[in-house]
Amino acid sequence: MENEALSSSDRRDFLVKLTSVVGGAGVAATCVPFVASMNPSSDVLAKAETEVDLSSIPPGGLRTVAWQGKPVFILHRTPEQIKEAAASNGGGDPEPDSKRVKNPEWLVVIGVCTHMGCVPNMEGAGWVCHCHGSQYDDSGRVTRGPAPKNLEVPPYHFVAENKIVIGKA
């Protein structure tokens, strides 16, 4: 009798442990899809980085590309534009040009006005937001109007002399 009681107790302990392991595995298997649903979708990952070939942009030329659903202005600055930008720290939100560019020849900024989110137009020496009158210079710094900040510089890096990747610094 004693062996049968011990055997029943051992069997019960084994079943409790087995049930706990199977239950834990079931909970883990149920959680996997929920955790996976928190990862960014493939269309978001596709927009995370944008590679841009700069060789087709002439000096003084501007190219607009999309990055994360926002326009990004890439300006191939002329020596005169570079000198002008270096000579000033901007107006409303002073910042040296050297802190805004990785290569003085190229300016890369997000083309969204920092006042109300409009897209400014290139006009003469810089950009003008016609919605509310903000103006930005050839370094993307606010020089006039209600915009509180300079045009934002996205994270980017040069992968070759004439190629940049926007999205990872």
Residues 114, 18: Cα–Cα separation, whole Å: 60
What is the token pair recorded at 42? 């493939």
Residues 138, 13: Cα–Cα separation, whole Å: 76
What's the start-to-end Cα distance of the chain, in Å?
75
To 10 degrees, the CA torsion angle through 95, 101, 102, 104?
-110
What is the token pair recorded at 115? 């006042």
Three-class SS state of 126: coil
Three-class SS state of 127: strand
Catalytic residue among 115, 130, 132, 157: 132
Q: Does residue 157 carry a catalytic annotation? A: no
Amino acid at 62: L
Element (H, E) at 23: helix 2-36
Task: Name the residues annotated as catalytic.
Answer: 132
